[in-house]
Chains A and B, each alone.
Chain A
């Protein structure tokens, strides 16, 4: 199946001379959730802005649903919903009016039943007649999501959707995202909460300095770049690693009180019992053991640091 979003060699240089994107290429499949990770100023928002039509590209091409985003903007923008990073709202409008306005802008006839459903899904129904300035930050964020969903988009961009949203609300928001995915909506999100990307995304893209460092299936990424670490707290400190254990490549830490063993997560199932058996055979006493799997965050930090 053709990708719903296809980005080819996209570049952007702002009038100030800032080179925000340097030849990014990326295909996004229909129905997936793609998380874009990257430090501030990496180019995430510029990338999204070009796809949505807010910023003109300097070079390259973006196709959405088979249409060019510049030449055929009516077709592409009708397919896209955008939730921006900043809480930009018309302070003096009511929730109902601002969400209905968004639907109209996208060329759709008024549909109160749909707006009602969106507001109810986002727990905004009882606030529908409130002015936006009366709402909390988390509610404004949900209003922006409601606006983006008002015209039933097939692709939804969420730029830092959970920034400044409390834990309970964030969970609720991810449930909404999950529901949208079930209905077939493609979701591209950027987030600083890497554990969230880890939890909900199908694929992860890491972007830094205007370059896409990698795009991988989340599971493959974790497998490829993830590490498993075993720490063994010894009863008696050691000065050197016993020769029988040297083959495992373990190191001594904490002034000889702890043995640390790093291995690939796929091999951990066999390697860790073997190491523990070797410890017993050597008569090395230990009082505690702990294992730790590297998170997406570790992988991300390593990639971005490595790129510097």
Chain B
């Protein structure tokens, strides 16, 4: 195990975060604050509590997930795509590092950054709404597992993407609809039966449901199923990565 290399990649990526502090941290905080002002305070005050949870508090786990998923996919993909784009990837590929170590460095940094921003959002949210976390350990578990899984997913996108358009496609076009339609702003009980059924095909729905359960003890599906779905998605990502490394797909061809 080449610890020095994992450390070098991890610290290099974290240094990039520090350099771009404004867009990395300040912009998600501002956009989330806007959500709280509009949905939590303005609109939310006219919406009745859902399962005894005020609307502002109810949307908090979903908003944290929205930021976490966007950040992790974005950072995971950009971290590996950028060296490919500038050509500095030559150095990674010619170093005595295994692909697993490369993933550890890049995905570790992307997940760390995503979680940092997620926690900042949580802190911001607590300024607007009363929050209680009933199952803190489960909350941290869902939080960390989601961060790692989606950073890994982002890493795969970064290897697959041939240009910036492809790189932005999934974070921009796929993640927000999945999060918005995954019950961030409502309980799926509020949907007509057909859309309730459709929601069950949305993997993000399970994440949000499980994450919300860790806060308020209420959920649309059993939290164990939520955890299982994340683990399945993690396994799929790991399988894809193994295939990528075996074939040298878009890296060593």
Residues of chain A whose beta carbon lies under 8 Å from any beta carbon of chain B = 14-15, 52-56, 73-78, 80, 82, 84, 86, 88-92, 97, 101-109, 147
Are B96 and A77 closer than 8 Å at their CB atoms?
yes
- Asked if B87 lies at the interface with its beta carbon under 8 angstroms from chain A, I say yes
CA–CA, A88 to B94, complex, Å? 14
- B residues within 8 A CB of A86? 87
Are B93 and A53 closer than 8 Å at their CB atoms?
yes
Mask of B75-97 contacts with A, CB within 8 angstroms, 1/0:
00000000000111011111111
CA–CA, A91 to B91, complex, Å? 15
Listed by A's residue number, 18 A-B pairs whose Cβ atoms lie within 8 Å are A76-B96, A82-B94, A86-B87, A88-B86, A89-B88, A90-B86, A91-B86, A104-B4, A104-B8, A105-B8, A105-B9, A105-B91, A105-B92, A105-B95, A106-B96, A107-B2, A107-B4, A107-B5
Q: A15-B253, A107-B96, A108-B4 are in contact. Are A147 and B91 (CB under 8 A)?
A: yes
CB distance from A54 to the nearest CB of B (A): 5
**Quick one: closest A residue to B102, CB to CB?**
A105
Are A54 and B88 closer than 8 Å at their CB atoms?
no
**Chain B interface, number of residues (Cβ within 8 angstroms):** 27
Are A105 and B87 closer than 8 Å at their CB atoms?
no
The 5 closest A-B pairs by CB, nearest first: A104-B8, A88-B87, A52-B94, A77-B96, A105-B95
CA–CA, A60 to B90, complex, Å? 22
Q: Is the interface of B mostly helix, strand, loop or mixed?
A: helix
Are A56 and B252 closer than 8 Å at their CB atoms?
yes
- A residues within 8 A CB of B4? 104-109
Are A55 and B252 closer than 8 Å at their CB atoms?
yes
CB distance from A211 to the nearest CB of B (A): 22
> Which B1-51 residues have a C-beta within 8 angstroms of A?
2-5, 7-9, 11-12, 15-16, 19
- A residues within 8 A CB of B7? 104
Tell me how many residue pairs across A and B have CB atoms closer than 8 Å: 76
**Quick one: closest A residue to B2, CB to CB?**
A107
CA–CA, A15 to B251, complex, Å? 12
CA–CA, A56 to B251, complex, Å? 10
**Quick one: closest A residue to B8, CB to CB?**
A104
**Quick one: closest A residue to B10, CB to CB?**
A104
- Asked if B248 lies at the interface with its beta carbon under 8 angstroms from chain A, I say yes
- B residues within 8 A CB of A74? 2, 96, 98
CA–CA, A272 to B12, complex, Å? 66
CB distance from B82 to the nearest CB of A (A): 9
CA–CA, A102 to B88, complex, Å? 11
Are B90 and A88 closer than 8 Å at their CB atoms?
yes
Q: A15-B253, A108-B4 are in contact. Are A101 and B94 (CB under 8 A)?
A: no
**Quick one: closest A residue to B9, CB to CB?**
A105
**Quick one: closest B residue to A159, CB to CB?**
B90
- B residues within 8 A CB of A52? 93-94
CB distance from B75 to the nearest CB of A (A): 16
CA–CA, A303 to B83, complex, Å? 38
CB distance from B128 to the nearest CB of A (A): 35
Are B252 and A105 closer than 8 Å at their CB atoms?
no
CA–CA, A101 to B15, complex, Å? 12
Are B15 and A97 closer than 8 Å at their CB atoms?
yes
Known: A54-B252, A56-B253, A104-B11. 13 other contacts (CB 8 A): A53-B252, A55-B252, A56-B248, A74-B96, A75-B96, A77-B96, A82-B91, A88-B87, A88-B88, A90-B88, A102-B91, A104-B5, A105-B5
CA–CA, A90 to B85, complex, Å? 11
Are A73 and B88 closer than 8 Å at their CB atoms?
no
